[in-house]
Amino acid sequence: MVKQLCLILLLSICPLLAMADASSIATSVWLGATVMEFDYEEFDDQDDSLDREDGVLPGVNAGASIEGDRWFVESGLLWSYGRVDYHSPEDDSETDEQILNLEVIAGTPLFASGRQQVSLVAGAGYRNWQRDIYSTPTANGLNETYQWYYWLLGLRGEHEFNKRTRVVADVQFTRTANPEVDVQFKANFDDVSLDLGEETGFKAGLTLLRKMSGSTSLWLTPWYERWELGRSKDKDLYQSGVPVGTVWEPRSETHNYGVNFGVRWQFGGS
């Protein structure tokens, strides 16, 4: 699934690059790094904290965009990986995290005046998050893979200070679609898949672009995102095919913030 979506992202970028010579079209590609402060927490049915994970995750990001007079389309990828701290009332441990996010958005201006512009944006994305919780002397760990699609709707504001410096602000609301988690126990239990509840989230970012020379710009984006996944239904837990109880995934909240930075190249346009 992930390889297929990466291929879809690549194929969506290629037509953008092919149109870069059109005189009224501006096409951009970018490549950069990301540093994420990861903060994840699970809650029981009384909204008391069950466990929490936090730490810094480095990563990379890349994407492309195409922009006409009254529209734009962007396609982007972000991948982060690292080890964070795991905290629970019973014990502390560590968790390896790997997050892949693919996203495509489109927008059209609602308002433009001089060097300022406000646009409506809408899009869709996919997130795959692999979570490997280490075992401790008192508890067995888990391998969990979360994945979900999402829709987004928001606004983009732009202000051009001069011909070399521009600021872009994004505010978006998201809605997860078909979230699920696949669980592999590091104890003698059978694997299980659980459907999670669809919830609304939020994303915001502020990008500073500074043109250096020719088609090359440097960019820096501080950002924040909030995700929520609803509690799963109870499901039978098996051991070698024999039912031994029930299992469920609790409600969770993720509050991530960080900074992306890198190089951007623009082709075509006026």
Instruction: Name the pLDDT band for 250 (thresholds 50, 70, 90).
Output: very high
> What DSSP line would sit under 137-184, residue for residue?
TTB--EEEEEEEEEEEEEEEEEEESSSSEEEEEEEEEEEEEEEEEEEE
The per-residue pLDDT for 63 is: 96
The per-residue pLDDT for 2 is: 47
The per-residue pLDDT for 268 is: 75
Q: Decide: 129 and 99 in contact? Cβ < 8 Å.
A: yes
Residue 42 has pLDDT above 60, yes or no: yes
Q: Average pLDDT in the 178-182 region? A: 97
The per-residue pLDDT for 23 is: 53
Q: Average pLDDT in the 44-61 region? A: 96
Matching residue, tokens 């490549």: 31
Residue 245 has pLDDT above 70, yes or no: yes
**Main-chain dihedrals φ then ψ at residue 232, nearest 5 degrees:** -80, 165
Q: Average pLDDT in the 67-96 region? A: 92
Tens-place pLDDT, residues 185-233: 988 899 999 999 999 999 999 999 999 988 899 999 999 999 999 999 9
pLDDT greater at residue 19 or residue 240:
240
Q: Please, is 156 exposed, middle or buried when counting C-beta atoms within 10 Å of its C-beta (0-12, 13-18, 19+)?
A: buried
Q: Average pLDDT in the 157-170 region? A: 94
Tens-place pLDDT, residues 89-128: 888 899 999 999 999 999 999 998 888 999 999 999 999 9
The per-residue pLDDT for 37 is: 98
CA distance 49 to 42: 6
CA distance 268 to 244: 63
CA distance 114 to 160: 9
The mean predicted confidence, pLDDT, of the chain is 90
Number of alpha carbons in the 13 Å side-chain half-sphere of residue 150: 30
Q: What 8-state DSSP symbol labels residue 136? A: B
Number of alpha carbons in the 13 Å side-chain half-sphere of residue 184: 9
Percent of the chain with pLDDT over 90: 77
- Residue type at 239? Q
Residue 11 has pLDDT above 80, yes or no: no
All domains in the chain, ordered by first residue: 2-268 (2.40.128.90)
Query: Nearest CA to 36 among 258, 262, 261?
Result: 258
18 three-state secondary structure: helix
Q: Which two tokens stand for residue 116?
A: 């300022």
**Main-chain dihedrals φ then ψ at residue 3, nearest 5 degrees:** -60, -40
Q: Decide: 267 and 217 in contact? Cβ < 8 Å.
A: no
CA distance 143 to 154: 34
Residue 18 has pLDDT above 70, yes or no: no
9 three-state secondary structure: helix
Residue 20 has pLDDT above 50, yes or no: no
Q: Which two tokens stand for residue 114?
A: 């001089």
